[in-house]
Structure 1
Amino acid sequence: MNHPKAYGTFIKRGENTYRTSAYIQWGSSEQSIGACLLLNPGSADFHKINPDLNVILNTLFRAKGEIMTDPTMKQLILLIEGIYGQLQPIAGRFHIYNLFNLQNPKSIHAIDLFEALVHSGEYDITESLISLNELQTHPWILTGWGIEQKVSWKNLEKIKDIWLNLIRDSRVPTFGKKHKTYNNYYHPCPLIPTHRSHMLTDLLSLYKQKFSIQRFPTYAARPNLLNEANLLEECDQYQLGWFRSSTNPESILKGFSHLHIKENYKLRAYQYSDGANGNGVVWAIPVNMDLPPANECECLEEHFLIAPKPAFALDDCMQVIDGDKSPISYLQASVAFHDIHEFGAFWHGTSWGRDVILPINEGENADKYQWKMIEDEPATLEPHFYYSNLGNPTIVFHTINDIGTVTMNRYVHTFSKSDYTLRVERTCIATAGGGIIF
């Protein structure tokens, strides 16, 4: 049985003890399996489990090691086991952060003392903060500092806002049981023991609402806005080889209502022609710059057609694509990514252009293929969104492509936590004989 253990780091200043870090450990992995932001450290200490460390704390004024699990930690253990119970054995660390580090089991007394210590200069209000990089290592954060509030608790409101801004900057997804009126979240472990099971049920439900798979109908993967494709002035006449395209690749983004291009940037493209075949390459450049002629650019030797790239272009045009961070925005960004990377493609240059996102609607002869499965049939065929174990927004959809051999393919798009750059993994999961030949 994989029994979790709790660990903490403490310092002592004067009569007060501060817990500067704490986590609950399953197994030996140091990977984060989640985190929470609570009010302040409660009663968990060394006394019963490790009395020698308590002696060290009182003599050297700092100590760290295994600690007893207090009621809050026991409730958090139940929460983690409820979330990851199907993935036994659980392995990793659940980190516990607090708005302030002062240890005190009575929350109201703790807040009053915290306010007094900050006012006297004995406590730095930002002492509990962690780095943005550390915050981004967590797949999710549970917010639950309690719902008590007083007008006099001004420093508590300040540190709460600082933490919330840090979490927003990290883009790490959060959940918690929010008060109906105030911007406060119920503590995960109510003082009344009989209320704890109900709170656990509520938190598990909120987690599932936030992080379970969200499915989309096929039409959600299509552009949903009409826009006119305006021809560009800084272009070249059609010719063989590389030349500046007269078509604006921004029209791809303008077809999706949840996406936009970041201010001060624009998208421009080069077209490649080889008789009846064609390809293109799209670059993100500053809005005040023009795309230079192809022969004035360095060429990318690693590109299969040795594409031109302006010196001032970003390496990845997805860096300038932004959205509202909703699940559907990531679906739209996944499709836009493929459309951008096949901009200007025709005839033998086409690949993604023959992909049909599943499931196929009735009346489109969905049963015409006899599939030979390479992998098991997908449990969820519809396009869907979820957060990965590391907290990355992820979109999965399946397609049929009939070029050469008819294939069923799984596309997994794993997005950065901070922007819409992504990593794409394509896997052929089934075949159905010969397809079309251009």
Structure 2
Amino acid sequence: MNQPKAYGSFIKRGDHTYRTSAYIQWGQSEKSIGACLLLNPGSADFNKINPDLIKTLNTSFKAEGELTPDPTMDQLILMVEDIYRKEKPIVGRFHIYNLFNLQNAKSMNAIDQFEALVQAGEYDISESLISQNELEMHPWLLLGWGVDHKTSWKNLERIKEKWLNLIAQSKVPTFGKKHKESNNYYHPCPLIPTRRPAMLNELITIYKQKFGKQRFPVHATKPNLLVEYDPDNKWSEFDYGWIKSPFNPECIVKGFSHLRIKDGYKLRAYQYTDGANGNGIVWAIPVDAELPDPNESQRLEEHFLSAPKPSIAFDDFMQVIEGDKTPISYLQASIVYHELNEFGAAWHGTEWGRDIILPIQESESQSTSNYEWEMIEDEPEIIDPHFYYDNEGNPTVVFYTINDIGTVTLNRYVHTFSQSDYTMRVERSCIATAGPGIIF
């Protein structure tokens, strides 16, 4: 069996021992499978496995080799094996970093010792830092240095800030159980043994939410609430130009249960008509304001129809849409984004309206089953709509569509959301074609 083993390097200066590096190894590969940043080294040592190395440490003042895992390492082993349980045998190395290298199993005493050593000039506060290149080799980093706090722990705050700056520069994604009122993270191994299973489950759940790709059935891209709306309204063939839309675009948002419009704001739209053709533009405005006549608004010259924009409107209507931050809320928000961008579209104004989100449902399969695709990119591994966090921690939604306007295309949509709200960057790529489509 591929049993994990722990390894560490130590130095001794005066009466104090410092662990300068540590990792847990599965198999022979040196490839990183993850890392953590904790407070300081605990009780793991050579006693049971390599007692001779204790003598080496005391005589040569440095030693390295296999360790007897401490409770924290045992907890980390359980976490890593659960995260990678589908990839057995697990092969790779999990690295353990610390804010400071002083070994002491009692965290409060350790911090006080660390503060005193730094103050006395006996410990370089940056000693625990690693290179950015080393940090970038890790797929993720668990944060768990604890939530204890004292105003006198000035040096602890300094080294924490240095580590956080390094992490930000490396852009390595992080996770952990964060304290509600501070920028601290609970230690992965609580002192009370009976609380360790609950903490383990929490960390695994947080990991899966952040790094796992959550797939959705295609029906999850549809509205799941009933809203009164007549999308088939026809305009008079004599209508032309921009008018205030008689329809409320908020009905699109209200069809999705995980989204809402922020208090104090509303959505309204202008409609452009040219006989049977139609286009629209949606704006977010204060709830107590009214959409002015289009002739009283500035015109967006970059818009192909010089759409009107009122001075009271936000630049992006997604700024006033909020949700519950669940993966499905981001999927719903990506659909709402496209629907609102094509609100009021008809005939030649339609583009997104001809997209069929994959995988194909039975009712649509007959019309698409005969396509012979010429691939521009490799066929995607996951065709279902799915959610994940990217390397910078941004919520991301990906889905694929077939569109038959002009040329039949297989398209990938990637929606990268802001970490603070539901605004997003959208990238659309054609990854395959299947000959001529429809012209209307």
Q: Distance in 2 between matches of 1:321 and 1:175?
A: 35
Corresponding residue for residue 153 of structure 1: none
Once the two structures are TM-superposed, the CA of residue 395 in structure 1 deviates from its matched residue by 0.8
AA matched with 1:432: A
Q: Distance in 1 between matches of 2:41 and 2:288?
A: 52
Corresponding residue for residue 419 of structure 1: 421
- Which of residues 151, 167, 176 in structure 2 aligns to 1:142? 176
Partner SS for 1:313: coil
Once the two structures are TM-superposed, the CA of residue 303 in structure 1 deviates from its matched residue by 1.0
- Contact 1:322–1:420 (Cα < 8 Å) also in 2: yes
Corresponding residue for residue 324 of structure 2: 324
Once the two structures are TM-superposed, the CA of residue 23 in structure 1 deviates from its matched residue by 12
AA matched with 1:296: E
Corresponding residue for residue 355 of structure 2: 355
Corresponding position: 1:123 with 2:125: no
- Contact 1:250–1:266 (Cα < 8 Å) also in 2: yes
Partner SS for 2:176: strand
Corresponding residue for residue 285 of structure 2: 285
Q: Distance in 1 between matches of 2:198 and 2:310?
A: 50
Corresponding position: 1:377 with 2:396: no
Q: Distance in 2 between matches of 1:218 and 1:427?
A: 20
Corresponding residue for residue 433 of structure 2: 431
- Contact 1:212–1:386 (Cα < 8 Å) also in 2: yes
Once the two structures are TM-superposed, the CA of residue 229 in structure 1 deviates from its matched residue by 3.9
Once the two structures are TM-superposed, the CA of residue 362 in structure 1 deviates from its matched residue by 2.6
Q: What pairs up with 1:31-430 in 2 under 5 angstroms?
A: 38-40=38-40, 105-107=104-106, 109-110=108-109, 122-123=152-153, 127=157, 130=161, 139-143=173-177, 160-163=179-182, 207-208=207-208, 210-229=210-229, 239-364=239-364, 365=366, 366-430=368-432
Q: Which range moves more in the overlay, 286-295 or 175-184?
A: 175-184
- Contact 2:415–2:425 (Cα < 8 Å) also in 1: yes
Once the two structures are TM-superposed, the CA of residue 274 in structure 1 deviates from its matched residue by 1.7
Partner SS for 1:431: strand
Once the two structures are TM-superposed, the CA of residue 37 in structure 1 deviates from its matched residue by 6.0
- Normalised to the residue count of structure 1, the TM-score between the two structures is 0.64
- Contact 1:23–1:95 (Cα < 8 Å) also in 2: yes
Partner SS for 1:417: coil
| Cα distance change on mapping 1:121 and 1:316 into 2, 3 Å | closer
Q: Distance in 2 between matches of 1:416 and 1:343?
A: 23
Partner SS for 1:335: helix
Q: Distance in 2 between matches of 1:279 and 1:43?
A: 68
Q: Distance in 2 between matches of 1:325 and 1:206?
A: 13
Once the two structures are TM-superposed, the CA of residue 272 in structure 1 deviates from its matched residue by 0.9
Corresponding residue for residue 58 of structure 1: none
Once the two structures are TM-superposed, the CA of residue 291 in structure 1 deviates from its matched residue by 0.9
Once the two structures are TM-superposed, the CA of residue 295 in structure 1 deviates from its matched residue by 0.9
- Contact 1:248–1:268 (Cα < 8 Å) also in 2: yes
Residues 207-253 of structure 1: CA deviation (Å, up to 9, x unaligned): 3565221111110000000012499xxxxxx9421111111111100
Residues 100-130 of structure 1: CA deviation (Å, up to 9, x unaligned): x79552225537959x999996435993765
AA matched with 1:106: A
AA matched with 1:407: T
Once the two structures are TM-superposed, the CA of residue 426 in structure 1 deviates from its matched residue by 0.8
Q: Distance in 2 between matches of 1:342 and 1:330?
A: 19
Q: Distance in 2 between matches of 1:119 and 1:222?
A: 47
- Contact 1:102–1:110 (Cα < 8 Å) also in 2: no
- Contact 1:34–1:139 (Cα < 8 Å) also in 2: no
Q: 5+ residue gaps in structure 1?
A: 1-5, 7-14, 25-32, 45-67, 144-158, 168-173, 188-198, 232-237
Q: Distance in 1 between matches of 2:412 and 2:189?
A: 36
Matched residue count = 357
Q: Which range moves more in the overlay, 423-432 or 71-80?
A: 71-80
Q: Distance in 2 between matches of 1:329 and 1:389?
A: 20
- Contact 2:375–2:432 (Cα < 8 Å) also in 1: yes
AA matched with 1:377: E
AA matched with 1:384: H
Paired-residue identity, %: 53
| Cα distance change on mapping 1:160 and 1:420 into 2, 3 Å | closer
AA matched with 2:321: I
- Normalised to the residue count of structure 2, the TM-score between the two structures is 0.64
AA matched with 1:376: D
| Cα distance change on mapping 1:111 and 1:245 into 2, 3 Å | farther
- Contact 1:258–1:328 (Cα < 8 Å) also in 2: yes
